[in-house]
Structure 1
């Protein structure tokens, strides 16, 4: 896994811009601590930072190749893991290609030379990369189908800047960090963001499953992959066997690494399934890790999304599977000190304690492993969240994953609310995403609605979780792989009827049936429990103090834009919410947006 950056400009000579390109690339050193490289030409400059996972000696980037009979290079800067690279390499060799490395990077480059842009259909994995084709004077930006790996770009008249993270684009003087009031809904709830949207003015993400062509006429984005809805013809037993086969295959593919590998094991169904399957393909004995907090036994409070603590279930799963398990115990008092690191990893408002604890967990894991497998995305693919099973929430005329939590935009000052109209904004976003649902002709009722609910969960919510995991892991040089994001698995499960997904009347029935022989009963039957939160009173006091600091500071970027009375009323409440740990969790974005705007000198523009 790596970090990429680059600059295309058709109106200037970029060979004189090496210091700027190296500065852009240098900001990504944590994503790629093992090596760095740049490639410059008159209108193209590509940078790369490498975290060596496969072919540690080869795979140096940016990597170049030439078509037969042409002196014009094709240049690649690549981040990701191509899980089917061995099969593709064999196929390309049969077509006359010669390889000088054992890396998946060279396979991507050769595949482009052989099949042109159509080669993306043949790739299986998580990736974000850029290819500069000098003969055609064209840049190609590509992002994997589920958006596991990030890729940002800023298009301007005559060129484009691109990178794995905003910080590299911010390092170029052509880009200025700005936002606007109409971005407040996604600043306060990033899950509302469209797949291409960021809070930065004029900064976009390449959408999952899309490619962007950049030439002298500008930047043009188009999909290369979409979910397709069709009738599911398999009976329940066949479906369970097929899901198991697909899981076996994708976990086996993702166990390939030339560096130490482990799993993230919370003791939930998803992570336990990945760990159990992974242990079958790891001859040397697999390690697993989970996270908990000092004093959690006394401080813990059950919520709809966190009904119980992870540690007892993680230990039970580890003992049953036979892996070497470590529970990373964190001091809640240490979280506040790590939030700046989480912010620096994101370049966007952090999630406070949730980002900080994940950062510390990954930092501890990195002392032992370079690659970790995670159970992320199983809830979105198989239907695991509480809101999938609450009738009023499911049939509500908005995003079901919003649950019953108040809208933080209700705390905006009246004049700001009048300008940006957050209720209209939410309705527009909902209508836009609902219109993108791949529907099945003749489908109606609950089955049709649950197709919508699942699709909506695969958009903003999943992208946000994947982005968070990527940023916190890559900030410490750890690569996290997500088998449940395998597109072949998703394509199959997507069309399984909802009644089959919940055949035993519970969440993720299909997944539970597929791995029933691998796990102890207490883990197999466990309810969904989200990433751990600390309920330490000391941490709560620190958050309240930080919130008061924002509300009382007339120099805050949010000063005058909040209804302070409403914020304080919400902070003093303690109502149960389906999607939030508590009211302070809901209010964290106010603190983190203030911190982000100050740290990155972001100003509001009209």
Structure 2
């Protein structure tokens, strides 16, 4: 796991741009605290920050292989979970390796198969290869978009990086936000390919892009496809379990301390239980961590997305599977600390977070990083198996993204917006346009009608839009503290298989995530196997709310420029609301208000609102 960046220019001599490349690379230091490296030839410059996970002595980057026709050099972020098999195959084809790293396997795989290498990889990755033989840059992102990759076209080439901040460190990248950029910030639509900043693009999941003297061409190498599902319920459940066993075994491979993120829900508990069985084969005990808050039992409020507290279920799992478990206690004061908010917003690069849940996730990862370098997460199981409440209620029929349906949607970051700005942004039209675009991409079976057809759409929307928001959040918060988080449920084999499982089979027991429950209930305590979906926990400490209200009042009193985006009276009303009276929209609005102010201070964007 690492941070990558680079610059291709066909009119400059980039060997004279060492300072600019160093500045771009330095922005990725949090992603790679273990080592730094740069490489340049006249028309290409690559930078890398390394978090050493596999082959600690080897694997230094940028990595170069000399060929008779010139060097081929790569910067790589992520993990190829099938690198052992690929290395064996390449050796049979005559390749000779100088390291034990998966990085070298990927690079030599490119030398053997070219861009077709992507069809052989299993993992999470974002990498760029400068091929001197053809004077071209090849940029590749994994199928599900687990690892981030951004690029910015210039007059004579491209800038790229793991995060926008790497690109924005270059003098050629302008820090401009347009009206559409603001719409993306406030809509929660997560339009694939959009980088929010003007001119900044996100390489879409399952895509590769080639840059040469003819320009930039982006192509899709993988996407969700429709296939006929012929397995019975029992065969489906058994196949999912077989896949999970293989996926988790592969993702436990590391040369550094690893652990599990355990919430006590079905997803993380099943993953942790399977991992515990696998490491026990080697006489080891798996480690796990969970987040908790002081006085949570007294302060907790049941919500649709989080109806129960995590801690009792976490402890039930830890006792059942016998793991080395630790609760990370986070108090409201730490989460409300402006320094924590600055770190979380700085990690995201944009004020598009989940309020206290972002802040607590950052602090949780920071605490875990003191003891582990790699963690496995249950992220994306809800998108894959259909776990959210709106998969199972009337919201799934709404003519919009289901997670945005209804006035009670918790994902309404525009609740305190200035009325004039809200009218200019016209977010409802923007969201409707993005929704129609997403629906136009959905692959269908000719035989699908009614509920099955609609649930095909709902699943597709979650796997291509919703999951991207959560994977991005996970990546940024973890890599901000140098923690690698792996996501077994995003293995493309599992995603593709379950996507083509009929909805009637996905909910065969009348509940959410029926297939996952059936595949893993044998390793779980009954209370957890039957637990209703409960999301990442919120913090209900009154001290947190009081603190963010005080911070918001201070910004209003000083006339901070964030007021250009928000309605002053609405912000003050939210600041004066009591603990018991404040609405969810008011609280999330205050958090977005503070995030926006922090981001404006950090990035100082130029606004172009047409």
Bin of the TM-score, shorter chain as denominator length: over 0.9
- Give secondary structure in 2 for the equivalent of 1:192: coil
Structure 1 residue 575: Cα displacement: 11
- Check if 1:384 corresponds to 2:382: no
Structure 2 counterpart of 1:28: 28
Q: CA deviation at 1:552?
A: 5.0
455 and 574 in structure 1: CA distance in 2 versus 1, 3 angstrom threshold: farther
d(CA) in 1 for partners of 2:377, 2:169 = 32
Task: Check if 1:396 corresponds to 2:398.
Answer: yes
Alignment pair present for 1:493 and 2:498 = yes
State the alpha-carbon separation in 1 of the partners of residues 485 and 114 from structure 2: 29
- List per-residue Cα deviations over 1:269-298 (Å, max 9, x = no partner): 000011011112213211000000112111
Q: Distance in 2 between matches of 1:172 and 1:22?
A: 10
Match of 1:591 in 2: 594
Instruction: Determine the C-alpha separation between the residues in 1 that align with 2:313 and 2:178.
Output: 45
Find the aligned partners of 2:356 and 2:10 in 1 and give their Cα distance.
44
Partner in structure 1 of residue 309 of structure 2: 309
Gaps in structure 2 of 5+ consecutive residues: none
Aligned-residue offset at 1:573: 9.8
SS of corresponding position for 1:534: coil
Find the aligned partners of 2:542 and 2:478 in 1 and give their Cα distance. 28
C-alpha separation in 2, matches of 1:453 and 1:159: 38
Residue 503 of structure 1 corresponds to: 508
1:261-280 counterparts in 2 under 5 A? 261-280=258-277
TM-score, normalization: structure 2?
0.95
The alignment partner of 1:4 has SS state of strand
Contact 1:79 1:128 (8 Å CA) reproduced: yes
- CA shift at 1:198, angstroms? 2.3
Any conservation in 2 of the 1:2–1:49 contact (CA below 8 Å)? yes
- Residues 251-262 of structure 1 aligned to structure 2 (within 5 Å): 251-262=248-259
Q: Which SS does the other structure have where 1:517 is aligned?
A: helix
Counting matched residue pairs gives 599
Secondary structure of residue in 1 paired with 2:278: coil
Unpaired runs of at least 5, structure 1:
none
Q: Secondary structure at the match of 1:40?
A: strand
Contact preservation (8 Å) 1:597, 1:603: no
Flag the 1:192–1:547 CA change in 2: closer, same or farther, 3 A: farther
Matched residue of 1:149: which SS?
A: coil
1:474 counterpart residue number: 479
Tell whether 2:436 aligns with 1:442. no
The aligned counterpart of 2:2 is 2
Change (3 A) 1:382 1:185: same
Instruction: Please tell me whether the aligned partners of residues 128 and 149 of structure 1 are also in contact (alpha carbons under 8 angstroms).
Output: yes
Aligned to 2:171: 173
* Alignment-derived partner of residue 244 in structure 1: 241
Corresponding residue number in structure 1 for 2:566: 562
CA-to-aligned-CA distance 1:422-478 (integer Å, 9 cap, x gap): 221111010011111122222110011011111111123211111111111111111
Shift of 1:366: 1.2
Instruction: List aligned pairs for 1:53-64, cutoff 5 A.
Output: 53-64=53-64
Q: Is the 8 A contact 1:557 1:603 kept in 2?
A: no
Q: Match for 2:605 among 586, 595, 602?
A: 602
Residues of 1 paired with 2:428 and 2:60: CA distance?
Answer: 50
Structure 1 residue 409, shift from structure 2 partner: 3.8
- Aligned to 2:598, the other structure's residue is in SS state helix
Q: Report the more deviating stretch, 402-411 or 179-188.
A: 402-411
Q: Is the Cα–Cα contact under 8 Å of residues 542 and 579 in structure 2 kept in the other structure?
A: no
SS for the counterpart of 2:447 is: coil
Mapped to 1, the partners of 2:581 and 2:559 lie a distance apart of 32
